[in-house]
Amino acid sequence: RPVSCAAERGHMEIVQFLLAHGADPNLPEANFAERGYALYAATRRHENVAIARVLLDVGADIRASWHASGDVSCALATTQNEELRQLLYEHGAVAGLATAANSGRLDLAAEILAADPSKAQDHLYGNAIQQGHLAIVKLMMRHGARLDPRMVRSWQTALAQCLAHRRVELAEFLVENGEDINWPNWFGQGPLHYTIMRDRPDMVGWALDHGADIEARDWEMESRPLAWAAHVGSRACVDVLLQRGAQVRHPDDEPWNSPIARAKKKGHDAIVGLLRRHGT
């Protein structure tokens, strides 16, 4: 809607003009924002305090959300803008457990869970683990939340996300409490594959030290970790994998999914030469 487009682009005068002529910021947007999008755009996407204030003054719904990205109140967790935070509180925004877990507010999380421990499980993976807040993860588990090694969120397992962001202490905790270092996502890619995709050679070594299968083949590209490293052009990951015993050739390789084939297709000539020297 026009008022949403104006708020999205930061055009204050147009927002004011449209509101003065009867635009309703709470009208639903097709398929993605049942309570309007203008306030969400001003707060969550652009942190435009001036436009947010104008919209709130005419009754924009503080519960406005976009798809599955949370509502306007979630800005309390993400913003560093104290003026915006105060404005949202003044208009009824409530910092829930998702907000506390996303922002690392251990004190707030403790208060919420003391009042209602049943909320812990719902926010363990999507908030506390995904944002890397180990203290809040431990707090939630003390209130009854349980790890599920089969859980996949945002296309990857919790361990994969930890390793990609080099959250070693949290990764150690997850493994010690039952997370599976080889559990794959929906494409058959385990934490080791994802760590390679993100070019984290130090975390490749960590994953291997903790039992990652160095020859696990995924389902999407039907490639093993060494082939993935060759595909993304990570010489450092290739070196780690070769040092740890990854095989360059396998009897069941197809002409297109071997490490050398992957490197050649992407034009990584130096890696092709390295693999050929190791594969003879």
In the structure encoding, which two tokens stand for residue 10, read together?
């930061």
Question: What pLDDT shows up at residue 146?
Answer: 92
Pick 81 or 279 by higher pLDDT: 81
In the structure encoding, which two tokens stand for residue 278, read together?
């190791």
**Mean pLDDT value across residues 26-53:** 91
pTM, entire model: 0.76
- Give the angle subtended at the CA of 173 by the CAs of 239 and 107, to the nearest 5°: 130
Asked whether the beta carbons of 210 and 239 are under 8 A apart, the reply is no
Closest alpha carbon to 277 in 237, 244, 249, 255: 249
Question: What pLDDT shows up at residue 102?
Answer: 82
Pick 113 or 103 by higher pLDDT: 113
**Mean pLDDT value across residues 213-224:** 96
Question: What pLDDT shows up at residue 86?
Answer: 92
Look at residue 80 and tell me whether its pLDDT is greater than 90: no
Question: What pLDDT shows up at residue 113?
Answer: 95
Q: State the Cα–Cα distance between residues 243 and 237, nearest whole angstrom.
A: 10
Q: State the Cα–Cα distance between residues 50 and 166, nearest whole angstrom.
A: 37
Closest alpha carbon to 98 in 112, 82, 88, 84: 112
Question: What pLDDT shows up at residue 78?
Answer: 75
Look at residue 136 and tell me whether its pLDDT is greater than 90: yes
Write the single-letter amino acid at 250: H
Q: State the Cα–Cα distance between residues 165 and 229, nearest whole angstrom.
A: 18
107-127 CB burial, b ≥16 within 10 A, e <16: ebbbebbeeeeebbeebbbbb
Write the single-letter amino acid at 216: A
